[in-house]
Amino acid sequence: MRLFGLTGGIGMGKSTCADLLAKASVPVIDTDELARLLTGRGSPAIAEIAAAFGPDVLDAAGALRRENLAEIVFKDTTARARLESILHPRIAAAWAAQVEQWKQAGLTIGVVVIPLLFETRAESAFDATVCVACSEKTQAERLAGRGWTPEQSASRIAAQMSVDQKVAKSDFVIWSEGDVSTLAPQLRRVFKFQG
């Protein structure tokens, strides 16, 4: 099985690429989705997060208030490291278990989307790494389109390795400038799928 790790900066098109790959029947795991599943109400992770960051990170029903937590961890590197110590081992175990199922099923290709792939030193688990990138201007426009303030965007971007570093470390780069039609031909070249 050829296993790819897909990464990139915030708002640079990782999810769009993952969706296109999934539509082409390429098996994909998105670790952001795993994080949401692992922090569901009543989960061990959410209990640990509440113990570490206080009851204000949960709503009355016990669901995670993501924006409240983001306000804490993107202003304080120690708090962010604490959250990562709670989540990253659980996320890594979950995607590794899924990859093992793929291998047992005899699949020939798989993709794991990990925004912090290089930051978590996960690259050695993959046969190849792929970075999705665009210009800073386009990134800023996309993040503004999510309703983020320039300050929120800046704090989240600063929490990751620079996209230039990610590009330099990656085996392949998908350039996501322009509309979505530019992505499919690049994805086919890198991942060698039909359609």
Residue range 86-101, pLDDT digits in tens: 999 999 999 999 999 9
Taking only the tens place, the pLDDT of each residue in 31-83 is: 999 999 999 999 999 999 999 999 999 999 999 999 999 999 999 999 999 99
pTM: 0.94
State the angle between helix axes of 66-73 and 44-53 in degrees (0 to 180), rounded to the nearest 10: 50
119-156 pLDDT, tens per residue?
Answer: 999 999 999 999 999 999 999 999 999 999 999 999 99
Exposed (0-12), middle (13-18) or buried (19+): which is 78, by Cβ within 10 Å?
exposed
Domains of the chain: 1-27+107-195 (3.40.50.300), 38-106 (no CATH)
